Structure 1
Amino acid sequence: MEKRVNQIKQQLSAHNYKLTPQREATVRVLLENEEEHLSAEDVYLLVKEKAPEIGLATVYRTLELLSDLQIIHKLNFGDGVTRYEFRAEGAEHHHHHLICMNCGTVDEIMEDLLGPIEERVEKEYDFQIIDHRLTFHGICHRCKSQGVDVKKLVGSKVT
């Protein structure tokens, strides 16, 4: 973890920002929960355990700064809550997500499934793609194995 904290410190420094104790506490919470997709409130509550003096506005500002510097990604899974995750080092693109509409679980697809489509779009539309995001909404294997009725969950549109 110390290596990642130092890398983030260098990234901040390259843009004339300092890794203040409040920012460091926020970064450490994100690193400790790297497998999760935490909301700002989640981050705040976890940071507050370690740094009781920190305010919600400070956490929001830190998350915005880290997002602006592309150290973390903002994610929106369609539920009105912004979540955050670290940008994968050296990754050309963002990975993809599977979101269970029943239990809310978020699973990740680490491979880039859209490479061939990107190439086609760039060629046919003369459009240079910088990044893309893909989110699948459905029912996870855990809920399916428990007999969740997909039709009741999403209405009569599912066959």
Structure 2
Amino acid sequence: MEHRLERIKKQLHSQSYKLTPQREATVRVLLENEADHLSAEDVYLLVKEKAPEIGLATVYRTLELLSELKVVDKINFGDGVSRYDLRKEGAEHFHHHLVCTECGSVEEIEEDLLGDVEKLVENQWGFQVKDHRLTFHGVCKVCQKAAVANSSN
């Protein structure tokens, strides 16, 4: 984790920003809870445990800055809540998600599935793609198994 924190610090410095104690606390929470797709409020509650003096507005500003600098990606899974996801080190693109409409679980797909689609968009529409996001909504394996088990009872 310290290695990634140091890389984020360098990324901030390269854009003339400092890793203030408030920003560091926010980044640490994101690193410690990377798989959880936290909302700003979730991040704030966890930051508050580490640094009670940090306010919600500071956490919001930090998340927006990290989003602008492409340290995190701001995502919405259709539930009206913005969530923050650390961009993987060296990732050229945002990763993809599988969202279960039954239990709300979120799985990540690390492979870039859209390379050919990007080329098609660029060639046919003359559109220069900078990034893309793909979210599949459906029913996860666990919920499918539970549904089968319930229907056979």
Bin of the TM-score, shorter chain as denominator length: over 0.9
Aligned partners of 1:138, 1:21: CA distance in 2, in Å?
40
Identity of aligned residues (%): 70
Cα-to-partner distance string for 1:26-85 (whole Å, 9 max, x where unaligned) = 010000111120000110111111111111111001101111111110011111000001
Q: CA deviation at 1:130?
A: 1.0
Question: Aligned letter for 2:2?
Answer: E
RMSD: 1.1
TM-score (norm 2): 0.92
1:35-114 alignment runs, 5 A limit: 35-114=35-114
TM-score (norm 1): 0.89
Give structure 1 stretches of 5+ with no counterpart: 149-159
Question: Aligned letter for 1:92?
Answer: E
Q: Give the aligned length.
A: 148
Aligned partners of 1:9, 1:90: CA distance in 2, in Å?
15
Q: CA deviation at 1:99?
A: 0.4
Q: CA deviation at 1:94?
A: 1.3
Aligned partners of 1:70, 1:126: CA distance in 2, in Å?
25
Give structure 2 stretches of 5+ with no counterpart: 149-153
Structure 1 outlier segments of 4+, above 3 Å = none
Question: Aligned letter for 1:5?
Answer: L
Aligned partners of 2:119, 2:39: CA distance in 1, in Å?
33
Aligned partners of 1:98, 1:35: CA distance in 2, in Å?
13
